[in-house]
């Protein structure tokens, strides 16, 4: 693992820990869900929880699950990417966006299965996929 990737992973983990509750209940009380963390830009540090199942569209259009406006980021298309979530996997697909979608610095040409900690870049907006524990 490169030093850059290691540093990024440590930074991502630190931000997510700060975004969760400070009390640490027993591990059996935790409910886990997927989330996207914005790594830089105007929304840096913002965590977007993803639903347990279904699909999530990201873009500048008001009808997206995660909606950026033109003032936030012009590099994101109206309907930029879609993330499908089920009990087994999280899959991202570029929706023929103008500036592309990358996973771990590789531009998507087809749908890709994501893993915890993968970096996701929509246009110029870097994000990371994380598994977050939420305590009941």
pLDDT of residue 2: 46
CB 33, CB 52: distance < 8 Å: yes
**1 vs 69: CA distance, rounded Å:** 35
Give 10-16's long-range contacts (Cβ < 8 A, gap of 24+). 11/39, 12/37, 12/39, 12/117, 12/128, 12/130, 13/130, 15/45, 15/47, 16/47, 16/130, 16/132
Q: For the residues of 29-79, what is the DSSP string, one character each?
A: GEEEEEEEEE-SSTTTT-EEEPPSSEEEEEESSTTSSEE--TTT-TTS-TT
pLDDT of residue 33: 87
pLDDT of residue 61: 93
pLDDT of residue 87: 82
Rounded to two decimals, the pTM is: 0.75
Query: pLDDT, tens digit, for every residue of 24-38?
Result: 444 555 678 899 999
Half-sphere exposure of residue 68: CA atoms within 13 angstroms, side-chain side: 26
- The ranges of the chain with pLDDT < 70 are 1-30, 72, 135-136
pLDDT of residue 24: 44
**45 vs 18: CA distance, rounded Å:** 10
- Which residues are within 8 A (CB) of 107 and not within 5 positions of it... i.e. 6 or more apart? 100, 101
């Amino acid at each position: 693992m490169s030093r850059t990737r290691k540093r990024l992973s440590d930074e991502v983990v630190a931000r997510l820990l700060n975004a969760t509750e400070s009390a640490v209940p027993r591990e059996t009380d935790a409910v886990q869900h997927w989330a996207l963390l914005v790594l830089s830009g105007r929304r840096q540090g913002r965590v977007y929880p993803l639903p347990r199942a279904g699909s999530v569209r990201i873009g500048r259009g008001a009808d997206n699950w995660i909606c950026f406006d033109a003032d936030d980021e012009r590099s994101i298309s109206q309907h930029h990417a879609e993330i499908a979530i089920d009990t087994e996997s999280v899959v991202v697909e570029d929706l023929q966006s103008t500036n592309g979608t990358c996973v771990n610095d590789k531009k998507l040409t087809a749908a890709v299965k994501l893993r915890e900690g993968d970096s996701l870049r929509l246009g110029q907006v870097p994000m990371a996929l994380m598994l977050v524990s939420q305590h009941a």
